[in-house]
Structure 1
Amino acid sequence: MRTIATCVEEILVSQPFLEDALTRNILNYSALSEELRDPISKMLRKPVKSGAIMMALRRYSPPKEMGNKVKLNKVLENLGDITVRSDLSDYTYKNSSSLVQAHLKTLEIIKDDPHIFYTFTRGVHESNILITTGLTKHIEENYKTEICTSVQDHLSAITIGLPKENTKIAGLYYQFFKRLAWEGIALYEVVSTTNEFTILVEDDVVDKAFSAIKGLKN
């Protein structure tokens, strides 16, 4: 059976920014109670008083993962190097039986140059290629028989080194996404390995994105 408390919890869990602000005590409880009165009344199908909602907000206890940030903060403090690579281009192709062969041709070209930025990600229905813009002619040649659905130039990649224990910490990636969202930075692409996390953004916001990520480390 739904109660005001369960409705408050449901709303907060579905809106992480709101829950985070509540746990940091930077919200006006009275104003938030008034804001939530109509949606909670609809959820319960009866009118509710803002005072009752305020009481539920004050009694709200976030999940343990949100409340205990000691491990998360330690990981953020121990983030590795933050590397920025610019002049990148992104290609998206529909998957096909011949796509891997095109990928192999590209690997043959770049294998002896460790300074080239190149990633190949295969999804269920499409594959994504991120490469140094100066080598796009090779992509267009090697993949010329494939169906290209999108191309984007003027991109930059920010790669963050992660501590080995990162896979055991809940909410780590959320911290990156939250900080970038607060800054109004849209992510064009995300690529990750076990101990590296790379975000792809347009060139005109790379400085702002770098500062946001660096702020987490500090």
Structure 2
Amino acid sequence: MDNIYQNPLFGIALTILAFQIGLYLNRKTKNALVNPLLIAIALIITTLQVFDIPLEAYQKGGNIINMLIGPATAVLGYSIYKQVKILKKYFLPIFAGCLFGSLASIGSVYGLCKLFSMKNSILSSLIPKSVTTAIAVEISEQLGGIPSITVAIVVITGVLGAVLGPFLIKLFHFDHEVVQGVALGTASHAVGTSKAIELGEVQGAMSGIAISVSGIITVILSLFLM
């Protein structure tokens, strides 16, 4: 069994299987709370604990999947290209939404961490919570944060955004497709974008734009925190 666990294919296969189970349950229940990513995380953790599998063994395949985060984010550029006319038309509102969304994200983290007297390393780890993992980890390391905490909070933020996003959109009557996409992409990065794509092609494209723009804005803002 050790030979199986040490094979990188084990981590890859376990991840794909867990996510497929999550997708199946999500489609069956049609409930936003039954999030495929959240279910996959729970199943993987449970499997590792029950069978006493070292995290390092799983990570041999998990790290290969992590390498695909950057290319997967870049692929969103195709959907953005298809909606370039809308981007030109709403450029200023999109930029403003990303700017103030990023400011709200960083400001809330900074304020709460100072309020509860948290260590600077924790503050630095939480600052990039609303940008995609590839960018968030780099920002965290530059600020002196703990990358593992950053990855965890980025996942939590994304899942919460994907689960609560559609509900908040209905609650506050955000009917415009561009508004929906920018809100999800700015607040909950790639996971939110996956939900935006379900809402519509325009929402998905705008959310993809928001990921890139918010990421750049967060990098620039973080320079003032160093």
Does TM, scored on the shorter chain, surpass 0.5? no
TM-score (norm 1): 0.27
TM-score (norm 2): 0.26
Tell me which protein shows more helix as a share of its residues: 2
Tell me which protein shows more strand as a share of its residues: 1
